[in-house]
Amino acid sequence: MVRVSDLGLLWATSPPRQPLPVRRMVPRLVGHQLQQQQSPLRMLQPLTVRGLTLRNRVVRMGAHEGLCERNGITGDLITEHSRILAGGAAMTTVAYGAVHRDGRTFDDQLVVGQDSLPGLKDMTAACHNAGGAVSIQLTHAGWFSNPRTIHKRPNAPSTKYSPAIFGWCRGMNQRDIDSTVRDFATAASLCKGAGFDAVEVHAGHGYLLSQFLSPRTNRRWDKYGGSIENRTRIVLEVLEATRKAVGDNFPIFVKLNMCDGMWRGLSEQDSLRAAQLIERSGLADCLVPTCGFITNNGLFMIRGDIPWRDLMRNGENFLFRFAVLLFHGLLIPHLKYHETFMLDMARKWRDKLKMRMVYQGGVTSVAAAEKVLAEGFDLVGMVRGLIMDPNFVNRVYNGMHNHAVTCTACNLCVGRMFQGERCWQTDLIKAIEELPDHA
């Protein structure tokens, strides 16, 4: 393993959530038999990542579930993740675990700490009982941490006006950076102790570590700014501290932008260099390539319809709602959805990097999953497809090798996220519920 210091860097108005009933499918083969079943499909083959053996290649990626309360785990959140694993997925990812209270974007966001530890333990126990592994996404929102939630100006790489909060953020000094690095490590250690099987460090989508990587939000002139090597420094420091905290036999995933998708943002060339530095360090086990910047192109990473009316209703202040009403086409550019929409960009990373990699972006069918695995990706990440059909993987185990989820990318699950994770296409859900259990 290479240390960072050895790298030579230069440097809502809608009614309450009413969950739709989801039928628990019993696969023909259960438990260890599912893991040991030989299948011609790549997606059903097991994979070992630094001592963690996943029973197949399908992972539920981190995406805001809208089910936390008082910064902790709820029974609804546990049910949501355990049903994904009961449906056959290899691993699920609990989203947006803030490593510090000052890194939250909303009041009820999960904060990884001693107060949330009992709920975290309940989560891992339920997920393991459901037959799969569970990871947690660790993050800090940086310049779009909500000032009304944290009661102060949010920290950021540089002192800058943040369009997300309609106000100024505070540039971080060395003490702030060191403290944040420790926060990630402490949170990872606590999660390992709570029984999680892996952690994911979120360095994409415009969150704090992504803000350091992006030249648009990082205007520093010290060892954390300027060159891509310097801008990657804090990510490597977080990974080094996290690896030290969790030990050698524990998987670390890193979600990293391939580009920001905006003017003066992180370029594809610089992002590849950052990924190569992470690979060279040996500190992480698996990359999760993604793209987009929440404050500038909120749906760049998922594509499809823009539920702007729902996004406007969810805005907690008048300025945000007014801006969405008048300028939603500019604030959230429309990008057409198509299956495996991120593959062309992700393929460039796959061709240049040797470390394990998760493909995510438009996988809603067996054919798409097999396609990206054939391209050399190690795991398949899904979210909307599994929200719509939690039993997707079990159907494939049971012989439905041509199965496809009819997700329309309406993105109402995003626009109404604070009402709790669910698919709002009730007619399509009913059709899925009426599908046979097997081919």
> Which residue's entry shows tokens 């067996």?
366
User: 288 is written with which tokens?
Assistant: 């999760």
User: For the chain, give me the number of helices (H) and strands (E)?
Assistant: 17, 13
Tell me the C-alpha distance between 175 and 167, whole Å: 23
Q: Is 97 helix (H, G, I), strand (E, B) or coil?
A: strand
Q: Which two structure tokens, joined as six digits, stand for 276?
A: 């190569």
Q: How many CB atoms lie within 10 A of CB 142?
A: 27
Closest CA to 299 of 267, 258, 328: 328
The CA-based diameter of the chain, rounded to the nearest angstrom, is 61
DSSP category for residue 17: P
**In sequence order, what are the residues at sequence separation of 6 or more whose Cβ sits closer than 8 angstroms to the Cβ of residue 256?**
203, 204, 213, 235, 271, 274, 275, 278, 287, 288, 289, 290
207 carries an active-site annotation? yes
How many whole angstroms separate alpha carbon 13 and alpha carbon 262?
31
How far is the C-alpha of 328 from the C-alpha of 184, rounded, in Å? 34
Q: Which of 96, 207, 224, 397 is flagged as catalytic?
A: 207
CA trace torsion 28, 31, 33, 39 (10° rounding) = 70
Give residue for tokens 């648009």. 216
* DSSP 8-state symbol, 19: P
C-alpha distance from residue 368 to each of 23, 138, 236, 340, 375 (Å): 25, 28, 33, 7, 11
C-alpha–C-alpha distance, residues 317 and 339, integer Å: 35
Q: Which two tokens stand for residue 388?
A: 């719509």
- How far is 132 from 94, CA to CA, in rounded Å? 13
Are the beta carbons of 57 and 90 closer than 8 angstroms? yes
Q: Which two tokens stand for residue 182?
A: 């420790």
Which residues have a catalytic role annotated?
Answer: 207
